[in-house]
Amino acid sequence: MRIKGNPTWIAFSLFSLFSLFFLIAGFGWAIKDILHPPSEGLSLKKPRQERGNSTETALLLTLGDSLTRGTGDPDGQGYAGRIKESLRKEHSRISAVNLAVKGQTSDQLKDQVRQPRVRRLLKEARWITLTIGGNDLFQNSGQSETIDRKQSEKARKRYQKNLKTILSVIRKENPDTPVFLFGLYNPFGDLGQKETSNQIVGEWNRTLTETTEKFDKVVVIPVFDLFQLNPQAYLYSDHFHPNQKGYQRMANRLLQAMEENSEEVSAGAR
Amino acid sequence: MRNLIALVYNELLKTVKKKRVLVVLLIIAVLIPVFTYAQYRTVQTTIQQMGTSDWRSILQQQIIDNQNRLSSNRMPEEWKKLVRLNIQQQQYYLDHDINPMAPGAPTFVRKFTEESISLFLPLLVVVVAADIVSSEHSAGTIKLLLTRPIRRWRILLSKYLALLLLVSLIVVATAILGTLLSGIIFGYGGWELPVFTGFQEINGEMITDQVHLVPQWQYILMSCGLAWFSCTAVATLSFMVSVVVRSTAAGMGIMLASLISGSLLTQAAPSWTALKYLAFTNLRLTDYLSGTPTMIEGMTLPFSLAVLSIWSLASLVVAFTVFVKRDVLA
């Protein structure tokens, strides 16, 4: 038992003792801070002006609903992921932000684009793509079987107003960036009452096109025809969202429209 | 008093000589680089996927991803509530332009303490605590120890105090090694970085009235203090088991099993509220600091502290009674 006096052991013990006091102090401080938080509130410095990094990386901003999210695609990529990969081949530095929320309606998107953070991203974006309207259309018009014309008409008016607001906000934040808006398709084109459903989707698509005409550089990507003849082959098993092939077709369309556009953009201000 | 100090010192030396502490320190030193690298990989993958290292875009994306998780039908309601609160907290960081995950050794230590408080640190503590009494039985040295002209409760007390010192050592060593090793990759800056604390949850809403900023070094000090309390409670329970169960292996097994089931049960059955009276569901004290919502409803810091203290006191009573009364045979 006579190892006493070895300086290493004494240092070790003292260090342990010191640790104990140190931690008890930290513990006490934590208790005090949680139970009696300082009352002076938080003094925050103003959020500093952030520098845009658009000169270095090109930002692809995708907004909208589950179609932009990629629901139904086993890879989880959707058209947004595919576009990103294609753009990456051409542009060395590209960043992508996907702000789409499953089940989002135009009402919710209207609120989303007004958030300060989203506005900042809109400002930085080099391309903006969005899908919106599917949920407005099919939630408010009842289930596929029973289409309520009156309800649908009301929803369409509302959609028109929201879409106008959304595009105005985007244009206000960023007057130059091309905006690609996907049209709507009819997932129920092979079911009963297909005349009615086709007619309604057609009306909505006309509304969509008319609304965008008032804005500069807003490109409508029609997809109605893609799912018209053989919906089974391009729709996911939920019979509502596109599947892998469907998304690939959407992405191809979008890429065609983008190519023309990117030349124009590169010849312009950037 | 001098006598007691000598006894505690003696007990400390015994654990060091038995290399238990060394093993624990080695485990920490090996695992922290692994965690550091894991963290580094995660950050790199995110940057690569997003194509940007701008934390604001990444955080915004995380918020949206969380919102999308909410729309899943298969998610239990308790989880949804957690995710919803998480979103509100992330939005708060974003609105105030403060990066909750700024890279740096202090951020790593802060996150590591939060993650390790419920399982990793307690496991290390169990390794040391489980044999502090029972090894005397298995080695047969208990008889030598008890034949000294010192009362039994003083011997046990000296063992307990030595254990408290070792627990402190483990917590501090984790923080120090974590800083030193992760700093090699992340750099040593960020001690002054502001961190939010004081989030409160009332009926599924995040209350931000009392949110205030503390510098990161203070936050780390406070989390280490809370981790110390959790570990002490675990050590006390292991101490009792070590007295009652004379085999070190069995004692360690009992403690490990209860620790792991404690952390599993809360996740498996968050709606079973009686679980909150168990000691091992209350170990995550740092959650009250970071504002992470608790899985089981009705848990607050005073509540958790009370539960842990009651279990510890009960264990001490059992340990001392058993140790003083027990017949020590050959």
Residue ranges of A 71-90 with Cβ closer than 8 A to chain B: 84, 88
Least CA distance to A33: which residue of chain B?
B198
Q: Is A11 on the interface with B (CB under 8 A)?
A: no
d(CA A72, CA A81): 13
Contacts of A47 in chain B (CB under 8 A): 96-97
Q: What is the CA radius of gyration of chain B?
A: 22
* B10/A29 Cβ within 8 A: no
**Mutate which of B59, B177, B212, B304 to test chain A, going by most A C-beta atoms within 10 A?**
B212
DSSP letter for A65, please. Answer: S
For range B180-184, the mean pLDDT: 92
Query: Could you identify the residue written with the tokens 């006894």?
Result: B7
d(CA B170, CA A12): 12
Neighbour-count burial of A224, counting CB atoms closer than 10 A to its CB (0-12 exposed, 13-18 middle, 19+ buried): middle
Give the per-residue pLDDT at A143.
Answer: 54
CB A58 within 8 A of CB A126: yes
* A50/B56 Cβ within 8 A: yes
Min Cα distance A210 → chain B (Å) is 30
Give the per-residue pLDDT at A141.
Answer: 56
The segments of chain A whose pLDDT lies below 50 read 1-3, 41-55, 264-270
Q: Write the DSSP assignment of B203-269 as a string of letters.
A: TTEEE-TT-EEEEHHHHHHHHHHHHHHHHHHHHHHHHHHHHHS--HHHHHHHHHHHHHHHHHHHHH-
Question: pLDDT tier at B148 (50, 70, 90 boundaries)?
Answer: confident
pLDDT digits 0-9 by tens, A49-105: 444 444 467 888 999 998 998 888 888 888 988 888 888 877 777 888 888 888 889
From the list B12, B16, B52, the residue facing A95 with the nearest CB is B52
Angle at B244 between CA B242 and CA B245, to 5 degrees: 70
* B218/A29 Cβ within 8 A: yes
Helix B248-268 to helix B216-244 angle, to the nearest 10 degrees?
Answer: 130
> Which ipTM did the prediction report?
0.83
d(CA B237, CA B241): 6
Question: pLDDT tier at B87 (50, 70, 90 boundaries)?
Answer: confident
Question: Any idea where the domains of chain A sit in the sequence?
Answer: 58-267
Least CA distance to B63: which residue of chain A?
A99
- Decide which of B108 and B47 is more confident: B108
Find out if CATH 1.10.3720.10 is the number for domain A58-267.
no
- Reading the block at residue A173, the tokens are 């934040």
d(CA B63, CA A116): 14
Query: Could you identify the residue written with the tokens 């940057």?
Result: B47
Domain tally for chain B? Answer: 1
Give the per-residue pLDDT at B88.
Answer: 82
- Reading the block at residue A109, the tokens are 């998107």
Nearest partner of A71 among B68, B48, B75, judged by Cα: B68
For range B84-94, the mean pLDDT: 83
Residue ranges of alpha helices (H) inside A75-148 are: 78-90, 106-114, 116-124, 134-140
What backbone torsions phi and psi does residue B323 show, to the nearest 5 degrees? -65, -40
Q: Is B228 on the interface with A (CB under 8 A)?
A: yes
Residue ranges of B 51-70 with Cβ closer than 8 A to chain A: 51-52, 54, 56-57, 60-61, 64, 67-68
Residue ranges of B 161-180 with Cβ closer than 8 A to chain A: 164-166, 168-169, 171-172
d(CA B10, CA B13): 5
Q: 3-state DSSP call for residue B200?
A: strand
B90 is a domain residue: no
- Decide which of B94 and B317 is more confident: B317
B243 is a domain residue: yes
- Reading the block at residue A224, the tokens are 């109605």
Give the per-residue pLDDT at A269.
Answer: 40
B169 is a domain residue: yes
Give the per-residue pLDDT at B3.
Answer: 83
B221 is a domain residue: yes
Give the per-residue pLDDT at A260.
Answer: 58
Give the per-residue pLDDT at A87.
Answer: 85
* A95/B51 Cβ within 8 A: yes
Residue ranges of A 45-74 with Cβ closer than 8 A to chain B: 47-48, 50, 53, 57, 59, 69
Query: Could you identify the residue written with the tokens 């550089």?
Result: A217
Q: 3-state DSSP call for residue B191?
A: coil
Q: Is B28 on the interface with A (CB under 8 A)?
A: no
pLDDT digits 0-9 by tens, B310-328: 999 999 999 999 999 888 7
Give the per-residue pLDDT at B259.
Answer: 92
Q: Is B240 on the interface with A (CB under 8 A)?
A: no
d(CA A98, CA A123): 15
Nearest partner of A69 among A97, A90, A50, A94, judged by Cα: A97
**Mutate which of A34, A40, A89, A139 to test chain B, going by most B C-beta atoms within 10 A?**
A34
From the list A16, A38, A95, the residue facing B169 with the nearest CB is A16
Contacts of B94 in chain A (CB under 8 A): 117
> Cβ neighbours of residue A139 under 8 Å, at least 6 residues apart?
A105
The b/e string for A135-146 (b: 16+ C-beta within 10 A; e otherwise) is bbbbebbeebee
CA pseudo-torsion sign A221, A226, A231, A237: negative
Contacts of A9 in chain B (CB under 8 A): 9, 12-13, 16
Contacts of A1 in chain B (CB under 8 A): 10
pTM over 0.90: no
d(CA B7, CA B162): 9
- Decide which of A138 and B120 is more confident: B120
d(CA A41, CA A143): 51
- Torsion, Cα A198 A201 A205 A207, to 10 degrees, reads 120
**Mutate which of B224, B230, B301 to test chain A, going by most A C-beta atoms within 10 A?**
B224
A253-262's contacts with Cβ under 8 Å and 24+ in sequence apart are A253/A221, A253/A222, A253/A223, A253/A226, A254/A79, A254/A83, A254/A129, A254/A180, A254/A182, A254/A221, A255/A83, A255/A86, A257/A180, A257/A219, A257/A221, A258/A83, A258/A87, A258/A127, A258/A178, A258/A180, A261/A178, A261/A217, A261/A219, A262/A90
B72 is a domain residue: no
Least CA distance to A122: which residue of chain B?
B57
Number of A to B CB contacts under 8 A, please give it. 140
From the list B56, B61, B95, the residue facing A98 with the nearest CB is B61
Q: Write the DSSP assignment of A120-133 as a string of letters.
A: HHHHH-SEEEEE-S
- Residues of chain A with pLDDT > 90, as a percent, come to 27
B53 is a domain residue: no
- Reading the block at residue A9, the tokens are 């052991």
Contacts of B289 in chain A (CB under 8 A): 30, 33-34
d(CA B273, CA B266): 9
> Cβ neighbours of residue A266 under 8 Å, at least 6 residues apart?
none
Chain Cα centroid distance, residue A117: 13
Contacts of B16 in chain A (CB under 8 A): 9, 12
* B61/A97 Cβ within 8 A: yes
For range B193-199, the mean pLDDT: 81
pLDDT digits 0-9 by tens, B40-63: 898 888 888 777 777 888 888 888
